């Protein structure tokens, strides 16, 4: 019998959670990547994209994010009016190489854990769960973010960057499955993928995992912690509703406000697993 099959953590229970980074564990509102996309476009081509446009492809690897952003109808029409052609691969490369040093420099400013998350993760570890993680950030960004987050108390058991695997990143299952292998988890249906963006939900579904969307702490809600803290209930509800709808439409099994609210979800998944249910 393994340590994951003790009386306190029977073989039917969840063994691990695979967590996104920005908007899920750190960086309430997922501002580190979105604001830097806006800056990169301005620096590379003196071209304006809005924060709302920059948020739309969130969750993809950052090169793919830039390419997808360039294909948004609103961006593409302005780009073609300005440059006379759709955004080219060379232009995406130039934007990406402009983006990378800006992102590396900025990411430590957004490494603070989302309020309430660290005690919940400590509780999950006490229950025997393993904490995996993956990100749309490439490895050079993660190599800066991971130690910065560790200084503030967040240390997952494993992490995977979007460019670590030849197969690629989201919405494919590979980063999530790499965590399963590294953490020695016995079955994918005993894992939960938690993310604030649609590609991350698709990643978990493609990996055969339970999926939990976050409707307030991340990209879809799009507010800082300070903004959220002073919002009235009506505004919170108005911003939460479309975020929740988008995550549920992507197939999320559960949608909660922030990762700090996940304990009842895990209890319900354990109940469903004990009944023989699968994602």
Count CA within 13 A, CB hemisphere, residue 203: 35
pLDDT at 10 over 80: no
Question: How is residue 85 written in tokens?
Answer: 């052609």
Q: In whole angstroms, what is the distance from residue 79 CA to residue 169 CA? A: 27
Same fold, 3-30+110-274 and 32-109: no
Classify domain 3-30+110-274 by CATH architecture.
3-Layer(aba) Sandwich (3.40)
Region 84-93: mean pLDDT is 96
Query: pTM here?
Result: 0.88
Mean pLDDT score of the chain, rounded to an integer?
93
Region 271-277: mean pLDDT is 95
pLDDT at 3 (0 to 100) = 42
Dihedral Cα 180, 249, 117, 138, nearest 10 deg: 60
Domain boundaries, the chain: 3-30+110-274, 32-109
Q: How confident is the model at residue 59 (pLDDT cuts 50, 70, 90)?
A: confident
Question: How do beta strands 210-214 and 16-19 pair?
Answer: unpaired
Buried b / exposed e over 164-203, threshold 16 CB at 10 Å, is: beeeebbbbbbbbbbbbeebebeebbbbbbbbbbbbbbbb
Q: What is the pLDDT of residues 205-241, one digit of tens each?
A: 999 999 999 999 998 898 999 999 999 999 999 999 9
**Whether 62 is catalytic:** yes
Phi, psi dihedrals of residue 117, rounded to the nearest 5°: -75, -45
pLDDT at 162 (0 to 100) = 94
Region 41-55: mean pLDDT is 93
CA angle 208–205–112, rounded 5-degree value:
110
The helix (H) or strand (E) run that includes residue 77 is: helix 73-83
Catalytic one of 20, 27, 64, 195: 20
Catalytic one of 3, 27, 46, 62: 62
Could you list the beta-strand ranges (E) of 166-272: 191-195, 210-214, 254-256
Superfamily of domain 32-109: Putative phosphatase; domain 2 (1.10.150.240)
């Amino acid at each position: 019998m393994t340590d994951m099959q003790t009386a306190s953590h029977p073989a039917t229970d969840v063994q691990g959670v695979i967590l996104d980074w920005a908007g899920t564990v750190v960086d309430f509102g997922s501002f580190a990547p979105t604001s830097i996309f806006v800056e990169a476009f301005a620096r590379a081509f003196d071209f304006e994209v809005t924060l709302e446009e920059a948020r739309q492809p969130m969750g993809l690897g950052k090169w793919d994010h830039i390419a997808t952003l360039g294909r948004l109808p609103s961006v593409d029409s302005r780009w073609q009016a300005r440059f006379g052609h759709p955004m080219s691969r060379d232009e995406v490369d130039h934007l990406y190489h402009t983006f990378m040093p800006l992102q590396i420099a900025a990411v430590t400013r957004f490494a603070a854990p989302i309020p309430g998350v660290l005690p919940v993760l400590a509780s999950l570890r006490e229950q025997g769960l393993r904490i995996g993680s993956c990100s749309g950030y490439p490895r050079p960004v993660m190599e800066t973010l991971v130690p910065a987050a560790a200084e503030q108390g967040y240390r997952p058991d494993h992490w995977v960057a979007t460019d670590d695997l030849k197969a690629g990143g989201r919405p494919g299952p590979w980063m999530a499955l790499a965590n399963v292998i590294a953490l020695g988890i016995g079955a994918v249906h005993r894992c939960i993928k938690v993310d604030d963006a649609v590609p991350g939900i698709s990643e978990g579904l493609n990996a055969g995992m339970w999926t939990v969307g976050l409707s307030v702490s991340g990209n879809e809600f799009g507010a800082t912690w300070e903004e959220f803290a002073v919002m009235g209930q009506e505004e919170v509800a108005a911003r939460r509703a479309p975020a929740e709808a988008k995550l549920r439409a992507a197939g999320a099994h559960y949608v909660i406000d922030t990762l700090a609210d996940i304990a009842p979800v895990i209890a319900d998944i354990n109940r469903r697993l004990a009944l023989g249910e699968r994602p």
